[in-house]
Structure 1
Amino acid sequence: MKIKYNIIPKERVSFVKESFTIREAVEELEECGYRCIPILDDSATYYKGNIYVQDIYKAIIKESHTWDDSVMALADDREVFIEEQASFFTVFSSIKKYPYLAVIKEDKTFAGILTHANVMAILEDSWGVKTGSYTLNISTHEYKGALSTIVSTVKKHTGIQALLTLDNESRLFRRVLITLPADTTEKILKNVTHDLEKEGLRVFEIEKI
């Protein structure tokens, strides 16, 4: 899955230019209310790094920089960016370290940013939070065909809105979370649960979304 369609485009991103002073940068940060924003070149085309409000105040307090110094003196994360065509899985671990990731187009121009909120929206969509009805937490001993058995059993009664496996490193058991479609009735839910347990699977938790 590509992240291209889940980013905040440049037109909606607050940023400063590389010719800004530290004073101008902090004014922009205070106006937008963010703790960190991108630095772009003077044509607002290319990504040059990030500027953090905490870095500014730390530098001023320690008198290592003045308000009239270039914002580039405090530029951080200059090499922290992802390509617009990057997959969701390649950026998932990286974004945990930063407030957002700058996104670069194929021609190296700045496209926008991918935020934690964007990532959560992707996860919510893939999990069927807004389109599902019930989530079944199923426990099974690890054996060949276990997942196939779960899927085929559920599909006798209804579709599957989302599916997630946990404990993938375990050799003994695995948990499988299945989200059922929004139109799933309590009768269908009961039949699905009954047939899963009939197959030797344990439905140990059912959560209504």
Structure 2
Amino acid sequence: MNIAFFLLPKEQVAFLKTNSTVRQALEKLEHHRYTAVPVLDDKGRYSETVTEGDLLWTIKNTPGLNFETSHRFSISGIKKERLIKSVYINAQMEDLLSLIATQNFVPVVDDNDVFIGIVRRSDIIEYCSNQLFAIKGS
């Protein structure tokens, strides 16, 4: 099986740019009801993932940063608590599965590290569940 089978393409994924503000990150997370969102550089390469926890701790620990001033602070200065690793589109399924066990989603990149989408853990679980029930039903 190929990773592309599970790929949710970039066009369907909410993401931020590295020059986004804390306010833009908060609003994107709230609008899409996400807990984390990938961050891309100006060439479309996957840079990192920012989580609501990262934002919360940054707001708590940064003097002068609150919701009213969040449009003045870049997400580039946010300390990330967890490194969300990406996988290449031509990687082995084992590589994807080892990451998806600890990440809600895995960013997928091409050979130039350009972000092309994500694989969601929920999609992997749904696929495995369907396969299991199909085996039990036969």
* Shorter-chain TM-score tier: 0.7 to 0.9
Equivalences for 1:166-181 in 2 at 5 Å? 180=138
Please report how far the alpha carbon of residue 106 of structure 1 lies from its aligned counterpart in structure 2 after TM superposition. 2.1
Please report how far the alpha carbon of residue 48 of structure 1 lies from its aligned counterpart in structure 2 after TM superposition. 0.8
Check the 8 A contact 1:7/1:118 in 2, yes or no.
no
Q: Residues 14, 113 of structure 1: CA spacing in aligned structure 2 closer, same or farther, 3 A cutoff?
A: same
In the aligned structure 2, how far is the partner of 1:65 from the partner of 1:48? Answer: 26
Q: 1:149-183 CA deviation, whole Å, 9 max, x = no partner?
A: xxxxxxxxxxxxxxxxxxxxxxxxxxxxxx52xxx
**Number of residues of Structure 1 aligned to a counterpart in Structure 2:** 132
Equivalent residue for 2:76?
72
Amino acid across the alignment from 1:98: Q
Secondary structure of the 1:97 match is coil
Check the 8 A contact 1:59/1:65 in 2, yes or no.
no
In the aligned structure 2, how far is the partner of 1:126 from the partner of 1:32? Answer: 29
Secondary structure of the 1:19 match is coil
Please report how far the alpha carbon of residue 121 of structure 1 lies from its aligned counterpart in structure 2 after TM superposition. 3.0
**Percent identity among equivalent residues?**
23
In the aligned structure 2, how far is the partner of 1:100 from the partner of 1:115? Answer: 4
**Cα-Cα RMSD:** 2.2
- What's the TM-score once normalised by structure 1's chain length? 0.57
Check the 8 A contact 1:51/1:75 in 2, yes or no.
no
Equivalent residue for 1:38?
38
> Is 1:20 equivalent to 2:20 in the alignment?
yes
In the aligned structure 2, how far is the partner of 1:121 from the partner of 1:48? Answer: 28
Unmatched runs of 5 consecutive residues or more in structure 1: 136-178, 181-209
Check the 8 A contact 2:54/2:79 in 1, yes or no.
no
Equivalent residue for 2:3?
3
Equivalences for 1:87-106 in 2 at 5 Å? 87-106=92-111
Check the 8 A contact 2:84/2:106 in 1, yes or no.
no
Secondary structure of the 2:49 match is strand
More helix per residue: 2
Amino acid across the alignment from 1:123: C
Q: Residues 39, 72 of structure 1: CA spacing in aligned structure 2 closer, same or farther, 3 A cutoff?
A: same
In the aligned structure 1, how far is the partner of 2:123 from the partner of 2:92? Answer: 14
More strand per residue: 1
Q: Residues 91, 64 of structure 1: CA spacing in aligned structure 2 closer, same or farther, 3 A cutoff?
A: farther
